[in-house]
A and B are shown apart, each in its own frame.
Chain A
Amino acid sequence: AQSVTQLDSQVPVFEEAPVELRCNYSSSVSVYLFWYVQYPNQGLQLLLKYLSGSTLVKGINGFEAEFNKSQTSFHLRKPSVHISDTAEYFCAVSDYNNNDMRFGAGTRLTVKP
């Protein structure tokens, strides 16, 4: 079965600095990969997803992620963060064999002024 590991539980960063949130997955077959964001007291919202094709995926709010099959990673990046990016970020994976999506434990991004 597929699984996801988010390597950092908390990432503090100053406003306008770049950020990378790390995600590694394991699966025996080809995968689909997702990043979701959860703002305080709100539901999860899709940031971006990788299905196939170009390994660099651009999402909403200036975020992007790169699928690296050899390193089984799907790290999320933003070149310059804002205070409003403070939230919990979840990486998720699904594959052709399963109808469920497996989420990582989440990374809490805190952007400081």
Chain B
Amino acid sequence: DTGVSQDPRHKITKRGQNVTFRCDPISEHNRLYWYRQTLGQGPEFLTYFQNEAQLEKSRLLSDRFSAERPKGSFSTLEIQRTEQGDSAMYLCASSIGLALTDTQYFGPGTRLTVL
């Protein structure tokens, strides 16, 4: 069990550029979650997948954001036309079961800085 991994750990980009983050969940975990964490705040839910199906998206997830989990394993989160307000830590978590009560295991996060 190698834990949840995220790549890259840090990303600096210029406003208007597109960025893509990757999350590899713990093997055989069915659910995968994306959160955003800004400085001084707790994580905010963005979206989650059950296997390859994206079942819920937060209103925080504007049209510039898209997430995929094509084979029910790793997931990508893409932000198009980045804005300075997108600067944050993007967290991924996975859980083995289908209930929200199942423990979510978090990755170390990808810190995005938009200049």
Residues of A bordering B, CB below 8 Å:
4, 9, 32, 36, 41-46, 49, 51, 90, 92, 94, 98-106
Q: By the criterion CB–CB under 8 Å, are A43 and B107 in contact? A: yes
Question: Of residues 24 to 42 in B, which have CB atoms within 8 Å of A's CB atoms?
Answer: 40-42
Do most interface residues of chain B lie in helix, strand or loop, or is the interface mixed?
Answer: loop
Chain A binder among B13-21, B65-73, B96-104: B96-104
Residues of B bordering A, CB below 8 Å:
3-4, 40-45, 48, 55-56, 58, 91, 93, 100-101, 103-109
Do most interface residues of chain A lie in helix, strand or loop, or is the interface mixed?
Answer: loop
For B100, give the chain A residue with the smallest CB separation: A94
Nearest 8 interchain pairs by C-beta: A103-B42, A100-B45, A43-B106, A44-B106, A43-B108, A94-B100, A103-B43, A90-B42
CA distance A38 to B109 in the complex (A): 11
CA distance A100 to B57 in the complex (A): 9
